[in-house]
Amino acid sequence: MSRRRRSNRPGNSQAKGPVRCNNSEECFGLVRQSRRRSKPTTHALLGESLRLQTEGAPAVHGVLQASSSLDVWSISMKSLAVIGGGITGVTTAYALARRGFTVTLLERHRYAAMETSFANGGQLSASNAETWTHPSTLVKGLKWMLRSDAPLLVNPRPSWHKISWFAEFIASIPRYEANTVETARLAIAAREHLFAWAEAEGIAFDHRREGILHIYRDRKGFEHAGRVSKLLAAGGLERRAVTPQEISAIEPTLAGSYYGGYYTESDSTGDIHRFTQGLAQACERLGVNCQYGQDVLSVRSNGSEARIELKGPEGVTEQSYEGVVVCAGVGSRALARQLGDRVNVYPVKGYSITVNLLDEASRRAAPTVSLLDDETKLVTSRLGEDRFRVAGTAEFNGVNRDIRADRIRPLVDWVRECFPGVSTRQVVPWAGLRPMMPDMMPKVGRGRQANVFYNTGHGHLGWTLSAATADLLGELVAGAAAPTGVRLPVTAAAV
């Protein structure tokens, strides 16, 4: 195989460093400065609540506790590689290109959005911001372990990755409430960016702004939802309880008996694949070099230069950049290890079916309002006039992309039960791996090396959160809210 080396560095900028902060006020001035703005930015809304943690700075309830003396680096860079062409990578490339960076997007498939961003549930759902780190999740997981059709399925075969992930999951349970509130805030901030980008770039993605209706079949589920609503309200999200009669009025095609529901009118739905493809085209118009069919073999950094070894149509090549952003979904863990960081992403498989509405009767019988069925953990979205998507379930089974018939069957049965007038004669199954961090909070920030950044681990809310985390990362890299010199805290190695 041929091996070529290419430099994508427009200058000889070097990352200086390390420089010692004298106090926490100096180190975290970027957070406090942004909060003093008259109009809150994504950075101001999230501030310390994401994974922008520093070595020796303990995180309590998902909020950074500043230490009195921290190592930081001054950053000066122009060329950046973004690894991963899913929704997170494409939004990141777009946010960086808008800030004037020379960006190269590296994706192993021939097109953008061909894995987890291909056929998800289609919801832009701030109302689904509740993190899974609730004690009841463990109880349900144990109860369902031997059911192949269970909403949550854990392969009992042990691995160190799985054991360490669940240990950290359990350790994050005390931060369930705080992380749910922060996720809601992030989801609301993301809407502003995503809608504005879609309008500015003329992206058509079957967008419906008809809200999301959560339905509950028993009192226990409905009362838990009431407690969750208080957390969502603390994060700025309004949703209202609805009676069974109101459920029928909101979505008349829904069959079955329900105890009650919650309706979030500000949520919406759309086709993630079409959106990501459209934004990838917008990236190219902004000058982003989208390199498809490029599989990243290795990545390394010395703090001022990042070198990436790729395998593509031209064989094995090596490219050089001043900085690198890892947005590689479930592949982020392996890449982070090469860069000296720990990103404990676990692949949690989700399934979907796309029901093609082939006749007028099916089109009339399919819902237009998006649903979330709490008992079955299934979500729906209407994509245009002739497609109806149902998605859900969570399967902990490592990097396994097999589409299992026993996991698809419950989705088809659910459609027959809840929408008997919809023909399931033509159903397209799909499975994707959600990149999940143990505490359900995305990892957004810098690694050990000054020119290494991460935007990954969004779990089941990848599309919902992507625009906000991309904008936040753009602010961090560009230093829009930082003092002169762009000083960023180092991400904790244990994260």
% of residues, the chain, pLDDT over 70: 81
C-alpha to C-alpha distance for 472 and 469, rounded to whole angstroms? 5
Whether the pLDDT of residue 198 is over 50: the answer is yes
The three-state secondary structure class of 74 is: strand
Q: Summarize pLDDT for 327-342 with one digit per residue, the tens.
A: 999 999 999 999 999 9
Quote the pLDDT of residue 155: 87
Q: Summarize pLDDT for 432-473 with one digit per residue, the tens.
A: 999 999 999 999 999 999 999 999 999 999 999 999 999 999
Domains of the chain, earliest start first: 3-115+274-343+439-489 (3.50.50.60), 123-269+346-436 (3.30.9.10)
Quote the pLDDT of residue 143: 78
Quote the pLDDT of residue 9: 52
Q: Directed axis angle between helix 462-478 and helix 87-98, to 10°?
A: 30
Average pLDDT over residues 311-318: 95
Which of 54-63, 159-168, 184-193 shows the lowest per-residue confidence on average (mean pLDDT)?
54-63
Q: Summarize pLDDT for 265-299 with one digit per residue, the tens.
A: 999 999 999 999 999 999 999 999 999 999 999 99
75's CB contacts (< 8 A; 6+ apart) are 15, 323, 450, 451, 477, 479, 486, 487, 488
Residue with more model confidence, 130 or 71 = 130
What is the pTM for the complete model shown? Answer: 0.85
Whether the pLDDT of residue 70 is over 80: the answer is no
Quote the pLDDT of residue 140: 83
C-alpha to C-alpha distance for 297 and 66, rounded to whole angstroms? 36
> How many degrees, rounded to 5, is the angle at CA 328 between CA 322 and CA 332?
90
**Region label for 420, one of left (φ > 0), alpha (ψ between -120 and 50) or beta (otherwise):** alpha
Residue with more model confidence, 52 or 96 = 96
Band of the pLDDT at 76, cuts 50, 70, 90? low
